[in-house]
Amino acid sequence: MYLSVTIPKGGDDGCRDAQTGARCPRRSRERVASDSESAAEWIEALLADKGVTRDEYREILSRLDVLDREIAIRFDAIDRRFEAIDRRFDVMVRRFDMMDERMDRIHERFDTLYDRMLVQTRWTVGTIALFGTLITILLAVAQFKP
């Protein structure tokens, strides 16, 4: 139920029910009146303590606009620096890719050289074994000859 809280000074007709128009009891009128007066005083004190005037508000807004523009300028400068750093990193990545390609080619060359050395080593060992076998056979034949 909603009560209208208009309390005229000196009269008792002020506190009425909004739907039926019935008068409120005297105690309710006194209670609501004292609470509403203290609430109004509290709101006024709060506004006086924490509120700002319209001129101060506009001044603060203008200062914030200036700060906003300065921050935007600085962020643009920082963005440009990051873009320059990104370009440098791209150049470095390309250089590293070129180095990787060179290393891959060097690896391939080492692999081919290793394969060739392995083949040559096998041929050398095989040739030495063959000569050793031939010399052993010749010495064995020479011993049995009178």
pLDDT of residue 38: 74
User: Residue 30: which domain range?
Assistant: 1-51
Residues 99 and 44 placed together within one structural domain of the fold? no
| Residue entry with tokens 């001129």 | 55
Distance CA 102, CA 8 (A): 98
| DSSP 8-state assignment for residue 15 | E
| Residue entry with tokens 């006194």 | 30
Out of 32, 51, 70, a domain closes at: 51
Classify residue 3 as exposed, middle or buried by CB count within 10 Å of its CB (0-12, 13-18, 19+).
middle
Q: Would you list the DSSP string of 20-79? A: T-PBPPHHHHHHHHHHHHHHHHHHHHHHHHH---HHHHHHHHHHHHHHHHHHHHHHHHHH
How many residues are there in the chain?
A: 146
pLDDT of residue 20: 60
Residues 111 and 124 placed together within one structural domain of the fold? yes
pLDDT of residue 120: 97
Out of 12, 30, 51, a domain closes at: 51
Structure tokens at 76: 């643009």
Q: What is the mean pLDDT of each run of 10 residues along the chain (146 residues)?
A: 44 54 63 67 79 88 95 97 97 97 97 97 96 94 82
Out of 13, 31, 51, a domain closes at: 51
Residues 72 and 117 placed together within one structural domain of the fold? yes
| Residue entry with tokens 């506004």 | 47
Residues 89 and 43 placed together within one structural domain of the fold? no
Residues 5 and 63 placed together within one structural domain of the fold? no
Q: Would you give the distance in Å from CA 48 to the centre of its chain?
A: 42
pLDDT of residue 82: 97
Residues 9 and 79 placed together within one structural domain of the fold? no
Residues 78 and 102 placed together within one structural domain of the fold? yes
| Residue entry with tokens 């890719």 | 97
Count of domains forming the chain: 2
Residues 83 and 135 placed together within one structural domain of the fold? yes
Residues 82 and 13 placed together within one structural domain of the fold? no
Residues 13 and 62 placed together within one structural domain of the fold? no
Residues 74 and 112 placed together within one structural domain of the fold? yes
Residues 40 and 60 placed together within one structural domain of the fold? no
Q: Would you give the distance in Å from CA 111 to the centre of its chain?
A: 45
